[in-house]
Amino acid sequence: MILHLIRHPKPLIAPGICYGQLDIPAEISPALMTRLRNVLPPDLPLWSSPLLRCRALANGLHPQPVIDHRLAEINFGDWEGRAWDALPRGQIDAWAADIAGYAPPGGESPFALQQRALAFVASLAVPEAVLVTHAGVIRVLLAHWQGLPPARWTTLNFDYGSHTRVEVFR
């Protein structure tokens, strides 16, 4: 199966604020829409995260995107909407010590994110698709498919509005 993984555009939020499932808009430029339309094969099915920054892009790329909660960004729980530098140091240290397994209070771990994203991909019954989603989702999927240990997950970075094409063998 071929997947076209699209990261949402830059969200309209102040720098330094933690956001995962915080539902914030993004500015979608005509240039981004043109670039993505030019690289995506026509008439592919498209699935999107339910979060506004993805949904708005998906609606511009496809007449009937399918919304799936499993494509949402990681849930940072009590950290959502707070400045990164205001988060309790002990919690940040615990996360750094267990990149895949630590869940912020009220949130989910990157491993839990990976499991729901992989379950979504396993449910697809098409040979090729577009997924409009988040850096965290793309990161945990590619880390799994590349066999990366959790300590290397953070080395995978994706620009806003980026397109990553991957062939998945199931």
pLDDT at position 169, please? 85
Q: Is residue 95 part of a domain?
A: yes
CATH of the domain at 102: 3.40.50.1240
Domains in the chain, number = 1
Q: Is residue 85 part of a domain?
A: yes
Domain range for 88 is: 39-130+138-158
Is pLDDT at 162 greater than 90 in this prediction?
yes
Quick: pLDDT tens for 58-85. 999 999 999 999 999 999 999 999 999 9
- Looking at residues 12-32, what average pLDDT do you find? 96
- Looking at residues 15-41, what average pLDDT do you find? 96
List of residues 6+ apart from 166 with CB closer than 8 A: 2, 3, 5, 141, 142, 145
Query: To the nearest whole number, what is the mean pLDDT of the chain?
Result: 96
Is pLDDT at 170 greater than 90 in this prediction?
no
